[in-house]
Amino acid sequence: MPESTLATFSVRRLEIIDPEGNADEALLPDLSGDELRRLYYLLLLTRTFDGRALALQREGRIGTYPSVLGQEAAQVGSAFALAGGEWIFPSFREMGLFFTLGYPIHQLFQYWGGDERGLRAPDGLNIFPVCVSVGTHLPHAAGTALAARIRGERTAVVAYFGDGATSKGDFHEAFNLAGVFRLPVVFICQNNQWAISVPLSAQTASRTLAQKALAYGFDGIQVDGNDLLAVHRATREALEKARSGGGPTFIECLTYRMSDHTTADDASRYRTPEEVAAWRERDPLLRFERFLAKRGLWNEDYAAEMKGKAQGEIDEAVRRFEAIPPPAPGEMYDFVSAELSARQRQQREI
């Protein structure tokens, strides 16, 4: 039998707004001027929080912190597509996601200040605790999607992670489960080019990360992760597909971590200034400002007003965070065991 081609595959790439703010009108999502301005404010709020958190860490007022600088559009754009009711699995760098969902800002300061009570989500928000161990939440996300399928619930699961997680076994196990059972899950990878100090080229020989989904039988798409509207459109389409029984989608958001991995890292030891400068030219906040300006929705006065508003919100959140009393030692026993042992009860009473 002669040699033949069994199958061929392709990977879509989506960009709507270019770095100069020009847009492909045919691809623009249906968002009002008020919604576009809301998205801009969420970008500003995320960046303002990020800068303040870095300052607080340097002052010893919170612990180690992972900057989100440069990745705001991937988070805000995707979160803005959520309809409510989805089950959400964040990793540790999704501050823009939390703000877009309306999560209390002071609670995020509380968590990064070392108080786990900051991750007690408000009622009605189905978001799991921050996952610091890389990729271990992905099988949980697939399992939750399987549970939703068994229960007949018309919902979707959304899992966030970085490019480093795609080198973990958890990633492949979750993708295999999602593909086999056509689960209603959207996997969102913020490919910021670096897994701490390991460049993407040292992690994978794949042309894209999005193509990894093809091996597991479902769609993968790469979007410009600094293009907020491209991320929004791709996420909205993936969620609609998941809810209607069309199965999972993997969205690779190609972006860049413009700061250190965390405040315990020094990225200048493994990245060149030229590389960072090149990506700063593609800053997602500047790109969105240029887009809004071309539509008469942004000017310097408006930006100053919104920056002041964001700074006020962050200042108030810091005041609330630092006014929270420390937890009582006995709280460490809450929600750990169905019943405490005699020794645990004795320890709690001390």
Write the DSSP string, 48-91. Answer: HHHHHHHHHHHTTSS------TT-HHHHHHHHTT--S--EEE--
Rounded-to-integer distance, Cα 58 and Cα 52, Å: 10
Q: Quick one: which of 11, 14, 32, 33 has its CA closest to 24?
A: 14
Helical H segments across the chain, by residue range: 33-58, 72-79, 95-100, 105-112, 138-151, 169-180, 228-243, 273-280, 284-294, 300-322, 342-349
Contact 250, 216 (CB under 8 A): no
Q: Quick one: which of 248, 261, 256 has its CA closest to 212?
A: 248
CB count in 10 Å sphere of residue 47: 21
Longest dimension (CA), the chain: 79
> At 119, phi and psi to the nearest 5?
-95, 15
Q: Helix, strand or coil for residue 222?
A: strand
Q: Which sequence positions are flagged as catalytic? A: 257, 261, 270
Rounded-to-integer distance, Cα 255 and Cα 157, Å: 23
Taking CA atoms, 280 is separated from 224, 250, 329, in Å, by 14, 26, 45
